[in-house]
A and B are shown apart, each in its own frame.
Chain A
Amino acid sequence: MRAVICALFAALISTVGTPVGAEASTAPAAAPVSVELDRMTVSTRIGQRFGFISTVRNDSDRPMPDLIAHLNVLSIDPAVYVDPEDWSTRRTIYLPPLAVGESARLTWDVQAVNAGHFVVYVAVTTKQRADEQITGSNVLRLAVAQERTLNPEGMLPLAAAVPTVLLVLVVLTARRRRRLR
């Protein structure tokens, strides 16, 4: 399973939308499936959830059993690290068999956990041909705006003030005890 997902990811980095295995010098073979996303762009704020639908269609001349769809997120900015596991808890969907010309709609739920610009796409393969052919969807361009988050400058006065107040109380209590004695 992990190998399949890794293979999907590695292949898609270089060949989104193109069947893997097609040589540069030769015409790419027609993909047996097509994947379309219902949204092209999404703008949101960090922490917000959004959803989109991908439609997977069997374009081949034979039924397609064991189709696997996988969601991926990549950052355009090399300084922003993306852990796709954080973005969606359900990133791989195993589809029921698709008859010739039949399609399936898959709903994806995503939470924006980093600020920046990202590309979201869905890759599809079959259980039997995972190591040789992967089809990628069109891309969804995602812009995530930063919101107010943890603020270290504001934290410092608070982190100093609370113990200071308690220290003053300790000293005052000790003085009072000494006076009572």
Chain B
Amino acid sequence: MGDVDQLPVRAGARAWSVVAARELRDLWVSGRGLLLMLAYALTLSVTSYLVASNEVLNFLEQREAVSLTLQVAVAVGSLLVLVAAADAVSGERERGTLETLLLTPAPRRALILGKGIAAFSLWVAAYAVSVPYVWYLAQGVDVVGVSLFSGLVVGSLLALFLAGFGLLVSTFAQSNRISLSVSLFVLLALFVPTQLPTALRNVWAGELLARADPFAAGLGYLGKLVIDARSPVEEATWLVGPLLAAAIAVAVALAVAGQLALRPGGRG
């Protein structure tokens, strides 16, 4: 946010929408967002071509291939949101622009909300980029609708969760390095339950962990719908974890926004 000193918070205009507009322009017009989308598209191109060119896949394995591409799209798309959110405040702090930002007449909660919306826009763009890949692969095994629908729902919940979490960490982190390190470490930890062996997931503690972890639950939900052809409603309980995580992360990030300070723990 380069020219924050000229932030035009007009009377009657919602401060958060002004902040969001500025942040969105900064992200997309500067080309940073497009570069991230290019890297994201290259990842999806390689993944989808590799799964499509494998000739020995049987019917179920082809569904698994669609599910894999969808999971990569959702996981990498939400990772982009986390990186942007984790940079939102600590990045300004490190670049020395936070003081100027805090002097604008916008409430601090509006600053965080605006930055969160900009970070979330990366997921919206990532989803749009992933649509042709998922559509192409899924039409071969008749799961286009369910793949696009479940990917949108799960990806949006995970992106909201990571946007809230990234902003929370960024608000209190002294530097960008700390903010990104903590955020990525937690993200990796959240991916661990997705790798649990099936036998462990079948015991109550394993299933509880898989349902509580937003990533394991969200990606598991995608697998159940795309691979096992279950109905979205039948497996909807798997979305409770991601839904709660998204609601809590966003609520906490906005609740602590008032404590946004020039130095973490300081007073503006």
Contact = CB atoms under 8 A, between A and B. Distances in A.
A160 B136 CA distance: 13
Interface in A146-181: 148-152, 154-156, 158-160, 162-163, 166-167, 169-170, 173-174, 177
A148 B137 CA distance: 11
A148 B140 contact: yes
What does DSSP make chain A's interface, helix, strand, loop or mixed?
A: helix
Given A150-B65, A163-B42, A156 B49 contact: yes
A114 interface: yes
A84 to B, nearest CB: 12
A31 to B, nearest CB: 34
Interface in A66-124: 81, 83, 86, 111-114
Contacts, number: 86
Interface stretch (B29-37, B170-178, B239-247): B29-37
A143 interface: no
Interface residues of B, number: 34
A74 to B, nearest CB: 15
A105 B181 CA distance: 61
A150 B57 contact: yes
A47 interface: yes
Assign chain A's interface to a size class.
20 to 34
Interface of B: 29-31, 34-35, 37-38, 41-42, 44-46, 48-49, 51-60, 62, 65, 129, 132-133, 136-137, 140-142
Q: Shortest 4 CB-CB distances between A and B: which pairs?
A: A159-B45, A152-B53, A155-B52, A113-B59
